[in-house]
Amino acid sequence: MAELAFACPLCGGGRIEPLHRYERAQLSRCHTCGFVFSMRRPGDDELGRHYGGYSRMDFDSPLTRQRYRELLERFERYRALGRILDVGCGIGFFLEEAQRDRWDARGTEFGSRAVEINLAKGFDVVDAATDAALFEPGYFDVVTAFEVIEHVRDPRAHIASIARLVRPGGLFYCTTPNFDSLSRRVLRDRWTVIDYPEHLNYFTLSTLERLLGCFGFAALEVVSTGLSFARLQRTLTSADGPAQPGATLDESLRSQFDRSRFLTGARNAVNGVLGVTGTGDTLKGWFERRG
């Protein structure tokens, strides 16, 4: 059963008010820190029904695999213990790439079906939210969370657990949708990211840095990149409201851009503008654990 939040999940402030034009999703903004979140907080049963219905036929993108390999190259400077944890690991695509790169790769995921698939692949994956008690303090060189933090009911508790797991000097890398994105500004309440109970927290550059800073993480790099043409096109042309983003269409466009030097240059220029203005679809954060 869903409950209503009467304090900001990020700073604990009580001066919050509904966000105009987002009443359908019951989004509110905190006057103290600017954090946007859903006032509705789902219970265990509701989340179990929602995530239990996932088919787990996850789209396996060769381009995303390449991006994973590029990230792992950058993670090398943090390799000391040789252990990496992927929070919300899906059915293990990132774990596969990390294992090929000789990491001791572990994962967590919500839902028994995804855990079964990972176990069949030979990965050590537990069916749990990030629980620091599962591992010794400072057990990992690197913890990753791709599109996870927007899902959790208690973002502070989530990051506190991650902070305990990352060794001093280690890295937390995360991605999450950007509430300040151009897409959200154009689509407003039709932005497909707004999807209860799938997404409960809506971060910006400043609120993401603020949350991580509360738990001893120093922001090395936080950028906003990307623009989903499929999401814009499908939403703007749909008379019935928001449609699910077209992963296949976006993948086709990404492939075309990667094959053309001209389109690659154009994409880089667009990403440069989105980065400078902080209006890309996705926030990507590199946070080093201090102390």
Q: Domains of the chain (ranges plus CATH)?
A: 61-289 (3.40.50.150)
Record the pTM.
0.88
pLDDT over 90 at 175, yes or no: yes
Alpha-carbon separation of residue 113 from 109, 116, 125, 247 (angstroms): 10, 5, 11, 22
Q: What pLDDT does 123 receive?
A: 96
Assess contact for 170 and 78: CB atoms under 8 A: yes
Question: Mean pLDDT score of the chain, rounded to an integer?
Answer: 88
Can you tell me the mean pLDDT for 197-213? 97
278 vs 204: CA distance, rounded Å:
8
pLDDT over 60 at 248, yes or no: no
pLDDT over 60 at 238, yes or no: no
Can you tell me the mean pLDDT for 74-100? 97
Per-residue confidence at 14, pLDDT binned at 50, 70, 90? confident
DSSP annotation of 14? -
Per-residue confidence at 150, pLDDT binned at 50, 70, 90? very high
pLDDT over 70 at 1, yes or no: no
β-pairing verdict for 40-41 and 3-4: antiparallel
Q: What pLDDT does 268 receive?
A: 64
Can you tell me the mean pLDDT for 131-139? 85
The two counts, helices (H) then strands (E), for the chain are 10, 13
Q: What pLDDT does 288 receive?
A: 98
pLDDT over 60 at 154, yes or no: yes
Alpha-carbon separation of residue 197 from 11, 152, 257 (angstroms): 21, 10, 34
Burial class of residue 96 (count of CB atoms within 10 Å of its CB; 0-12, 13-18, 19+): middle
Q: What pLDDT does 243 receive?
A: 42
The residue ranking higher by pLDDT, 245 or 123, is 123
Q: What pLDDT does 156 receive?
A: 96
Which region among 109-123, 249-263, 265-279 has the lowest average model confidence (pLDDT)?
A: 249-263
pLDDT over 80 at 77, yes or no: yes
185 vs 206: CA distance, rounded Å:
17
Q: What pLDDT does 13 receive?
A: 87
The H or E element that residue 286 is part of is strand 282-289
Assess contact for 131 and 151: CB atoms under 8 A: no
Alpha-carbon separation of residue 125 from 22, 144, 153, 265 (angstroms): 36, 14, 21, 39
Over the stretch 48-57, which tens digit does the pLDDT of each residue have?
888 877 778 8
Which region among 54-68, 177-191, 243-257 has the lowest average model confidence (pLDDT)?
A: 243-257
